[in-house]
Amino acid sequence: MNDNPLVALFGYFALLSLFAVGGANAAIPEMHRIAVEIMHWMNDRQFADSFAIAQLSPGPNVIIVTLIGYHVAGVAGAAVATVAMCGPTCLLAFFAARTWDRFKDAPWRIAIQAGLVPVSLGLIAASAFVLARAADKNIYAGVVTAVTVAVASFTRVNPLWLFAAGGMLGLSGWL
């Protein structure tokens, strides 16, 4: 990759966007691998913080790339990372939308859809694993994660309440 961080940002995220089947969450491990392990743009905690801020912000969760871009190269980095992550797949979506409906019952379309579901599930599970490992630095944080899993699985509580509770516990200094 080029020395210019904007070029690296654009190249990595444009490539990543084309493989991120399962949405932004499925791409978290790869973002982590690139930003923390390969390029050393940020450390583990900064990455986890970025994810937390993206979750707290309204709008699509893909907005984490904006935060990474800003961290690397300011406002220009934020813009470049966002355009790279959304641009190629939006063009693809635009052209796919015009042909897809025509092949609604085609066997190849059904096979593609059916085959990609488990792949994307595995990728999202990997994201959850990577995040939990970055977030749960001690047993108390692990307990917060576990309790959140239980509450979110078996109740319909608005996630904002869970975030509020997690933030308060963090503030109290237990985590």
Q: What is the footprint of other proteins within residues 47-106 (CB under 8 A)?
A: 48-49, 51-63, 66-67, 70-71, 75, 78, 82, 85-86, 88-90, 92-94, 96-98, 100-101, 104
* Phi and psi angles of residue 78, each rounded to the nearest 5 degrees, phi first: -60, -45
Q: Which is nearer to other proteins, 3 or 107 (CB)?
A: 107
In angstroms, give the least distance from the CB of 2 to other proteins. Answer: 19
Which residue's structure tokens are 């975030």?
Answer: 163
Q: Which is nearer to other proteins, 3 or 59 (CB)?
A: 59
Write out the binding residues for other proteins, residues 9-48 only, by CB under 8 A. 15-25, 27, 29-30, 33, 37, 45-46, 48
Write out the binding residues for other proteins, residues 146-175 only, by CB under 8 A. 146-149, 152-153, 159-160, 162-163, 165-171, 173, 175
Length of the chain equals 175
C-alpha 110/C-alpha 17 separation (Å) is 23
Q: CB under 8 Å, gap of 24 or more: what pairs does 87-92 form?
A: 87/14, 87/17, 88/14, 88/17, 88/18, 89/17, 89/18, 89/20, 92/18
